[in-house]
Amino acid sequence: MLDGDEAAVSQHRYDERASQEDFEAYAQWLKGAIMRGSYIGLFAEAQCEIIAGAGLLLLEWGPTRGDSNPIRARVVNVWTRPDWRRRGVATDLVKRLLARAEIIGIQAIGLDSTPMSKALYRSLGFEQYLAEMIRRTR
């Protein structure tokens, strides 16, 4: 990804209902994550326009039983322009990110899926896992 691509990713991540504050905060964080190397992002283009994107967030998780690598990954920001859906574009991007994760020795990769994307992720070897819990202080 290039400098400035964080705005495009943020536009894909947030719809028009998102606040400008959320959009700007994410774009600023993403710029730093790209510079630190903790975010790997890919775009697909057609006719000089972005038609799809996907990212891999590298997380310092710590070694766990059976996995001595302290880094885990999370697939994030998978987006395809509506007129390009169901053509395998997002699948190709995610496969490329998974290959990159394998090269750097990451064994555990998570993601959150929508009902529409579950079949895609199952075809790539992802399995349903227990639901996550979260605590917010505000």
pTM for this predicted structure: 0.87
127: left (phi over 0), alpha (psi -120 to 50) or beta: beta
**What does the domain layout of the chain look like in residue ranges?**
1-36, 38-138
Q: Please tell me the distance from the alpha carbon of residue 89 to that of residue 137, in angstroms, as a whole number.
A: 39
CATH topology of domain 38-138: Aminopeptidase (3.40.630)
Q: Tell me the pLDDT band of 99, cut-offs 50, 70 and 90.
A: very high
Q: Is the pLDDT of residue 2 over 70?
A: no
Q: What confidence score (pLDDT) does residue 1 get?
A: 55
C-alpha–C-alpha distance, residues 14 and 133, integer Å: 22
